Amino acid sequence: MKQISFLLIIFALVLSACAPAAPEPASLGEFDLNDWDSVLAAARGQTVNWYIWGGADSINAYVDNFYGKALQERYGITLNRVPLAATEDAVNQVLSEKQAGTDPGAVDLIWINGENFFTLKQAGMLYTDWSQALPNATLVNWDNPAINLDFGTPVDNMESPWSSAQFQFVYDSARIDADDLPRSYAELKDWACAHPGRFTYVAPGPGGFIGTRFLKGALYELSGGEAMWKTFDQATWDEHAPALWAYLNELEPCLWRNGETYPANEPEMVTLFANGEIDFSFTQDISGAGRWIADGLMPPTARTFVFEQYMIGDFNYVAIPANAPNKAAALVLANLLLEPEFQAAQILPENGFGLGYAIDVTRVTDPEAKAQLEVAAAKLGQAATPAADLARSLAGDTAPQYQGLAEQGWLEFVVQK
């Protein structure tokens, strides 16, 4: 009996040696970006280190209370919000890790845009080919240059939008009927000259960013579109800038105080509007005139509107460093930012955030998600521009070099002419 048992053991060992080896378990954090279930599985148990500007307590609280809670409860992911004095701190961290050959590094996700994105992209330190693979990426209008270009730098699937701001006009519905509002820069000039002294704009330049944005929107209309302004070309500027100066000089005698002086910033313009000296103000808030009304600086009848096109907006994004230690968790968080329920929540000042949509709300088809967005929009009330109007009129900003040219040219060819 003992001999038979011994022979069976030997036979079993031979079979075991001949059998194919069992596959080794996947490495921790390994996933297939095209299989979202594998991303979720890899992310579970990870901690996502989100490096984010920490200068606003309201934003910090929103991030912790909304995203932190959802990540843990839904996906088993812990959010570690790393507050920054400036985004450059996270960029320098990643660049230092590259120089030291540190991989994995410390940063999983960065709230980023503009020059900081360009810097990491040029350094080859961004995770690639991911943003349009997110399930919620279908809600983003990637065809719009306002989104696929980050201040002139192609996003190239290396960052995903989080929120936005967009140029809008404010008017008082007790003074002006909505049917009489101008809907283009050409119509605005006609309106201003038919109502002399009732319109002005913020002086472009330092502190007057919103005034520069007004100028660039006019440049788009006068030149026949925005596409040519996404990359810098001096010859293009030289060709079209004279039409901008001509437009502004024709507008000038129709302005408040005959254009002899201009409000220096948005608050000064709001004061003129509230005092009844002018009929339009500017804003970039998703709540439209709501913030100013809540602060008692505008009448309850204040409303916002946009032209049919060329309302310049810009987006905040998140990006994942190439050496991020927890890429799966970063992907889950980036996708969560685009969830309609959180897009709805972030527009509400009551949540301490009040930033605009990153998604095109007209692409949302799920009934529950649509309802959440509609409820949030209703809370903003009539003081806010309808989301569909914002989406329709959205235009991206110019290449950065045109900023200085517009501001300097305005001084030379309009103010000092």
Encoding tokens for residue 351? 């949540």
Structural contact between residues 108 and 320, judged by C-beta atoms closer than 8 angstroms: yes
List pLDDT tens digits, range 335-357: 999 999 999 999 998 887 788 99
| pLDDT of 146 strictly over 60 | yes
Helix (H, G, I), strand (E, B) or coil at 151: coil
CA-CA distances (angstroms) from residue 295 to 57, 71, 159, 395?
19, 34, 35, 29
What is the distance, to the nearest Å, from the Cα of residue 40 to the centroid of all Cα atoms in its chain?
A: 25
Helix (H, G, I), strand (E, B) or coil at 125: coil
Dihedral of CA atoms 370, 373, 376, 381 in degrees, nearest 10, equals -90
List pLDDT tens digits, range 363-417: 999 999 999 999 999 999 999 999 889 989 999 999 889 999 999 999 999 999 8
State residue 29's pLDDT score.
65
Q: Which of 81-95, 187-201, 389-403 bottoms out in mean pLDDT, i.e. has the lowest?
A: 389-403
Structural contact between residues 315 and 164, judged by C-beta atoms closer than 8 angstroms: yes
Average pLDDT of the residues in 301-315: 96
State residue 19's pLDDT score.
37
Encoding tokens for residue 278? 């002018």
Average pLDDT of the residues in 145-171: 94
> Measured between alpha carbons, how far is 67 from 137 in angstroms, rounded to an integer?
18
User: What pTM did the predictor assign?
Assistant: 0.83
Query: At 24, is the pLDDT very low, low, confident or very high (cuts 50, 70, 90)?
Result: very low
What does DSSP assign to residue 203?
A: P
